[in-house]
Amino acid sequence: MRFSSPFTSLLVFVSIATASPALNGRGEGVIRFPLTRTKSADVDGHVDTTALYAQLVRVSNKYRHTFSAFEANTGSAHPLSGKMMSSMTEGGDGDVPLINQGTDLWYGEIDLGTPKQKFNVSIDSGSTDLFLPSVSCVDCTGHKMYNAVQSSTAKDKGIPNVLSYGQGQVGGDEFSDDVFLGGYEVAQYLFLTLKGLIFVAKALDQTFLAASWYSLDFAYPNFEPDGLAGFAFEKISALGAKSVFETISDSGVLPESVFSVKLSSTSGESELCIGTMNTNLYVEDTLTYTAVTEEGYWQVNLEAVSRNGATVASNNSSIIDTGTTFIVTSDVAAEAYYKDIPGSSNSTQGEITYYTIPCDTIGSYTPTFTFGGRGFNVSKETFNLGPASSGSSDCLGGIVGMSSIDFWVIGGVFLQNVYTVFDKGNLQVGFAELA
């Protein structure tokens, strides 16, 4: 079977500009950001697998890029990189131009420089580097551009660099400057008012790439935000730099070295917190932590994947990735998941295999993921991505196979069902049932 219809775009936007200090369930002063998920669909809501394929190619390219950075920074190959990196020499359909990248990205506003310059960036827990277009950027029409000359705190590090995401690339010079995210400032000296008190902490200037050129894949509207900000660890940075979140966290100014998210398709019910958790949004006694097994990504052990009580996978490495809509796994694991489901079918395009289940029964075959000894269910609403084509009675499942990986990428299909805590201080990830 081959899908030929337009995909239901999954557009997720983070509205950080409206963020303001607030009290969480513990009564601590924190910064909370309302998140808005905007879903644009075709008239009949069916799936556009051309856009779906583009999203998954971007996922593949992102991990190839960050695996290479990990090896450059540490001198050792990442334990999960073997199958993916060896596939780079095999050619095939995996390395194709990135198109419609913006369909599964989280966007947020950050401010850079003195005085502040405002930008939209994709916020991604599956990568680390920050890049923005500079005023000298070629092919950056439609993006806001960073002007270092207008910032009294800008520092040109004099290091040219290129960030590669498969065939998508951005190139320019490394800079550092003051960065503001939701009220927290990443600067030489950081001042933050919490509960009426002034806290002063030293923090390193944030390193980022001020791009002088974007490849077509990052030109607007193929890539909708101005730039990208990763929230993972320094070890997978191609710039050899800390992420914005690491820089803020290492300054010691946060109440806790965490960021946490609730994702929801219901308007007004999503938010991101930096520095703590909002205990009003989850059931406290269900919060379950699992250790980060390899610092670089937010990588944890996925203890089990089950369907209707039967285990179909166990003890697998997984990466918790807010920048990915889907749940992505190996061809073998995906095939095992959909095996013996009545009426299920699959279609392969390049390195990616999609699966469908009859729409009237797909809700009976949703997965349960076990982390830290507790199982968390995926709802039928998030697992069912929609009809495979206009008028089709078959619906696309939220788990897809990719021939170049042998781990799990845990994206929005799962994360919309839990409250997620990224705990840098204790190197762990927490999940809890939603309140």
Which two structure tokens, joined as six digits, stand for 263? 């994702």
Q: Which residues are catalytic?
A: 124, 321
Q: Give how far Cα 305 sits from Cα of 51, 144, 283, 405, Å.
A: 27, 43, 22, 17
Q: Of how many residues is the chain composed?
A: 435
Which two structure tokens, joined as six digits, stand for 229? 């900000």
DSSP state for residue 288 in the 8-state scheme = E
Strand 179-181 to 106-112 pairing: antiparallel
Which residues 6+ apart lie within 8 Å of 356 measured at CB? 1, 344, 345, 346, 347, 388, 394, 395, 396, 397
CA dihedral over 239, 244, 248, 249, signed as positive or negative: negative
Strands in 292-427 per DSSP E: 299-307, 310-320, 327-329, 345-349, 352-358, 367-371, 374-377, 384-387, 394-397, 399-402, 408-410, 418-423
- Tell me how far apart the alpha carbons of residues 117 and 131 are, in angstroms, rounded to a whole number: 14
Element (H, E) at 56: helix 49-74
CB 168 within 8 A of CB 215: yes
Q: How buried is 435 (Cβ within 10 angstroms: 0-12 exposed, 13-18 middle, 19+ buried)?
A: middle
Q: Which residues sit opposite 410 in a β-bridge?
A: 320, 327
